[in-house]
Structure 1
Amino acid sequence: MVIDEKLGVIPQSAGDVLGVLLDDVTCSEVDANRSAARQAQRVVEAVEFARRHPEIYTIDADVQMAERAVVLELSLRLRISQERVRELCSTAETAARDLPLLWQRARDGFASMHSVGVIVTAAGPLASPVGAPRGVRDAAAAALARLDRAAHEWVLTCSSAVLRQRAKKLVDRITGDTAARRHTRAMADRHVSVSPAGDGMSWLTALLPAHEAVAAMRRLSATAKHTRKDTREGRTRDQIRADLFSAWLRGVGTATAVQTKVFVTVPVQLLAGGPVPVESASIVGGDSIDPLTAKQLFLDARGFRRVITDPVKGVVVDMDRRTYRPTRAQRDWLTLHHGTCSRDGCTRLAVDADLDHDIPWATGGTTDLTQLRPLCPRDHTIRHRTRVRYRTRPDRSVQVISPTGYASSAPPPF
């Protein structure tokens, strides 16, 4: 027999030892699921409390603004996005109300919050519309109960993918849904998004009707295939497709070529060919870019503002306080200095932010760089509509201090 401080007495058989370790992993998962469900329940309770007592966060007892403020505070405390806080709250509220058996599984630790979210999403078509007649509400409740009974058994044995498939099939069977109706609903969700991929690259993703996506890919492939050898320059077929995709969307060579302004900081040493620090060129508020790309951007830029550090010589930094609106030069400098919204934890780009007066202009604040800070529209609204305080630090980052006494912390220098 072997004695382990954590696992206790362990049989000498290697298979038995591994079995004990795997059992411990399973127990840890149950504990984690139970803890996650409890956290989601506390999120719901916190949001509901703020709704019932909006005066905690607002002067005029605005319930909606109180909810937005408590969601912001929760996101800062939990170090997750506000969207994730709302998702947790919605999932837990819906599960507790419409899927009580499944929710109990989660509270007991036998279903993850992810699995609960899968079922809650699938259950969407079964919910009755607001103000529906009693008969419609009863039918919806019966359908939800049927899904709840099945799901609370499935979560014990099914993976997330299988759970999603089974829930979808059952909901379609209950509603008598057809492929045509599902496609009509899915069409409403079509969108385009961009997300960073690192190393100066990004993913541009579009949710489109399948036939349109296939047709677009076929056109890219056909054009790439027939690209003349003398213009391929050693590029692979995939690389040519990506280059064509970018050029077509940006309208390269057309009268409608993109004119969007992108700020790129380019050290002057780089342009002169001298040694520069690694990753010193960057898209403001975004990822670093390699020196060759930075040089080419500077030379080719038409829809950009070309900025060479030091970029602020000649910029007017002070204005008479009778002028409320900042100048374009001030906005550009603040965009370059901050990159993103100045509030702790916010990653929204400063180029799209509102410029907020640290001391409100109406109470004597001045329109100069020492008194201005970029806040995304969401934070700008919360700052002026709630009791949440936005305090500017000496480094111009912004700390959030809530009426409950919580104060956000800035990440350490990197």
Structure 2
Amino acid sequence: MEELFTLDLGTAPTVERAGDPGDDAAQEPLGRVNAVPLTVDDIVGRVRTVGKAGGTAGTDELIGALEQMRQVESWLAARKHALVLTAARSAERDHEAWIAAQPTWDESLPESTSTVPARSGLARAERLAIAERSAVAEIACALRIAEGAASTLLTQAELFDARLPGTAAALEAGTITAAAAGVILESAEEYLGLSITDAQTEARVLTAVAQTERFLLDKALTGTKGEVAARARRLRDRFHPFSPRRRQELARADRCVRVGPGRDGMAHLTAWLPAVDAHAIDRQLSALARAALGPQLEDAHDPRPQADPHYGGAPDDRTVGQARADVLTDLLTGPAAATRAGVDAGAGFDASTGARVTSGKGTSSTAQAIDAGTPPAISGPVNAPPSLVLTMPASVLLGGDGPAVFGAFGCVPVEDARRLATTATSFTLAVTVQDDDSPTGSRLVTAGRQYRIPAELRRRLQLRDGTCRFPGCRRDVLRCDLDHRIAWADGGTTDEANLEHLCRRHHVLKHHSAWQVTGPPGEDRADVDSAPPTSASSSPSALHWVSPTGRRYRSDPDDPPF
């Protein structure tokens, strides 16, 4: 790898220590080697020596070492982007060569039926288009990052190369930080990602990119990431090629609500909304929460209300924040939500008194409903039984204490788990063992030459895999395909040993690129070396992926939760 790494920071700013301005060693940046090739071990060795002077190094020397380390980090970031771009282009050329060497599917073979899979593949142009996907997968596995992150790295590398040469040069010279370069990249990405419909718009976009880089580079030479970002926000209003109204329309089109896993049985519910609507919802949640807490809330800004002796009743010790969350939950999952069109939709809170009401007139206007403190009328069925994977020991289901796992959201309180279980219309019983020995009894296997996958086997495989089985992919099995590792048309069987979940992206990659996959040693085709990686022992459900460059990556199913 010597030809790939040359550590040359000779153009980087130097630090002159007070008291000895003529000391060349004090001014020399770390690793000034004048483009002499270095191995990775050489670079790591040099970096490890920075700041190591026993107990004799003074504060000034240590701060100088930190400045030099900042330069090294910038240089490494620049080299990483350059390597990602070069590697991706090389991988794409390799994929094109692989396509040229592969025979096309025989189009005379029959189309798929209910029992026989199709043997017709993608057109040549479509197979060539998979080149970047294969390259991104190779880079992601090598860097041990998600493919989304690898794709972002590649996009940034392309921008550095084609549109931001000044930023790339400053980063490699160590004169700006990687964080500041990231702000410049983010600004340029927004402009270049716009829909360009005419030459005039394209010219405005390119001007915005050039001007933004020029003004942000000036600040990045001395400023922090926050200072560069502040200038970027001001420049955006000045140089953006679209009018404010048009930008608002585009942003509004991206409005959404998402849920993400948290810890200890909690989750994050986030909404991307127009600012006016978001603040209206925020105000109304606060008003309903304070009304629900009642007169015991002594002060509008008191986060922990106490009981009012004149009000009576037990104190409500919820904070306003907790009450806001409860109000939101009640409005969307309580009696008011369980309605159909034409049925009373007025159950909820009275905004003036905070009392729960069980009747009222719904409205089709969300804005009017918020103003009135009542939820809108809802069309169509709601509160349908959820489709989910809830895993718990039988003892917990029957009343014992212990953990329960709610899909990708992790552990949830046992009370919530039992409540969810009561809504289920069917159950799948799964038995797990704690040791490495295979459980006794018969293994679930279908008729070997049957192509259709029985529902019972499909559920078992969902519980086994959890996610897509490509290395690093975390897409849930409910959004994946079930793939015959050895194709049914090539003699593969429809059973647990020959089936795995692959998301559509990696399903296509497996069949239309040089990526190959094997199961445990001895089970798969002979044209791939089935010896497992030496870094870990084999397991019955392990998959061993071989990249186009011959690198091996192991994929194991999710561990049993208990």
- TM-score higher than 0.5: yes
Match of 2:246 in 1: 181
Q: Which of 205, 208, 231 is the aligned partner of 1:166?
A: 231
Match of 1:354 in 2: 481
Query: Does the Cα contact within 8 Å between 1:359 and 1:371 map onto a contact in 2?
Result: yes
Rounded Cα–Cα distance in structure 1 between residues aligned with 2:410 and 2:52:
49
Q: Which of 423, 429, 437 is the aligned partner of 1:301?
A: 423
Matched position secondary structure for 1:326 = coil
Shift of 1:249: 4.2
Match of 2:63 in 1: 22
Question: Aligned residues: percent identity?
Answer: 29
Query: Does the Cα contact within 8 Å between 1:267 and 1:308 map onto a contact in 2?
Result: no
Query: Does the Cα contact within 8 Å between 1:340 and 1:347 map onto a contact in 2?
Result: yes
CA deviations 1:180-210 (Å, max 9, x no partner) are 2332232233233332222222212111101
Rounded Cα–Cα distance in structure 1 between residues aligned with 2:441 and 2:479:
24
Q: How does 1:2-81 map to 2 (within 5 A)?
A: 7=51, 17-56=58-97, 58=99, 59=102, 60=124, 62-81=127-146
Query: Does the Cα contact within 8 Å between 1:342 and 1:374 map onto a contact in 2?
Result: yes
CA 1:389 to 1:112, structure 2 compared with 1: closer, same or farther past 3 Å? farther
Match of 1:269 in 2: 395
Higher strand share: 1
Rounded Cα–Cα distance in structure 2 between residues aligned with 1:34 and 1:189:
36
Shift of 1:338: 1.8
* Structure 1 unaligned regions, length at least 5: none
Highest RCO, 1 vs 2 (Cα 8 Å, sep ≥ 6): 1
Query: Does the Cα contact within 8 Å between 1:315 and 1:329 map onto a contact in 2?
Result: no
CA 1:109 to 1:271, structure 2 compared with 1: closer, same or farther past 3 Å? same
Q: Which of 283, 288, 294 is the aligned partner of 2:411?
A: 288
Query: Does the Cα contact within 8 Å between 1:125 and 1:171 map onto a contact in 2?
Result: no
Rounded Cα–Cα distance in structure 1 between residues aligned with 2:383 and 2:558:
39
Q: How does 1:182-261 map to 2 (within 5 A)?
A: 182-227=247-292, 235-250=318-333, 252-254=337-339, 255-261=381-387
Shift of 1:291: 3.0
Match of 1:91 in 2: 156
Rounded Cα–Cα distance in structure 1 between residues aligned with 2:175 and 2:541:
46
Shift of 1:324: 2.4
**How much is the aligned-residue C-alpha RMSD, in angstroms?**
3.5
Query: Does the Cα contact within 8 Å between 2:293 and 2:316 map onto a contact in 1?
Result: no
Matched position secondary structure for 1:158 = coil
Query: Does the Cα contact within 8 Å between 1:221 and 1:241 map onto a contact in 2?
Result: yes
CA deviations 1:342-386 (Å, max 9, x no partner) are 233221111221111122112222222222211122111111121
Q: Which has the larger radius of gyration?
A: 2
Q: What TM-score do the two structures reach when normalised by structure 2?
A: 0.63
* Structure 2 unaligned regions, length at least 5: 1-48, 103-123, 295-312, 340-380, 433-438, 521-538
Q: What TM-score do the two structures reach when normalised by structure 1?
A: 0.84
Match of 2:117 in 1: none
Query: Does the Cα contact within 8 Å between 1:56 and 1:403 map onto a contact in 2?
Result: no
Shift of 1:407: 0.7
CA 1:144 to 1:201, structure 2 compared with 1: closer, same or farther past 3 Å? same
Query: Does the Cα contact within 8 Å between 2:130 and 2:513 map onto a contact in 1?
Result: yes
Shift of 1:132: 5.0
Number of matched pairs: 401
Higher helix share: 1
Rounded Cα–Cα distance in structure 1 between residues aligned with 2:557 and 2:489:
34
Query: Does the Cα contact within 8 Å between 1:344 and 1:399 map onto a contact in 2?
Result: no
Match of 1:367 in 2: 494
Rounded Cα–Cα distance in structure 2 between residues aligned with 1:331 and 1:233:
48
Matched position secondary structure for 2:132 = helix
CA deviations 1:136-194 (Å, max 9, x no partner) are 66665454333222222211222223212212322432347543233223223323333
Amino acid at match of 1:301: T
State which drifts further: 67-76 or 115-124. 115-124
Rounded Cα–Cα distance in structure 1 between residues aligned with 2:149 and 2:544:
21
Match of 1:155 in 2: 220
CA deviations 1:211-259 (Å, max 9, x no partner) are 1112222332333333377899754432232234345445753341143
Shift of 1:272: 3.5
Rounded Cα–Cα distance in structure 2 between residues aligned with 1:411 and 1:328:
23
Query: Does the Cα contact within 8 Å between 2:482 and 2:501 map onto a contact in 1?
Result: yes
Query: Does the Cα contact within 8 Å between 2:444 and 2:457 map onto a contact in 1?
Result: yes
Rounded Cα–Cα distance in structure 2 between residues aligned with 1:9 and 1:309:
59
CA 1:399 to 1:286, structure 2 compared with 1: closer, same or farther past 3 Å? farther
Match of 1:403 in 2: 548
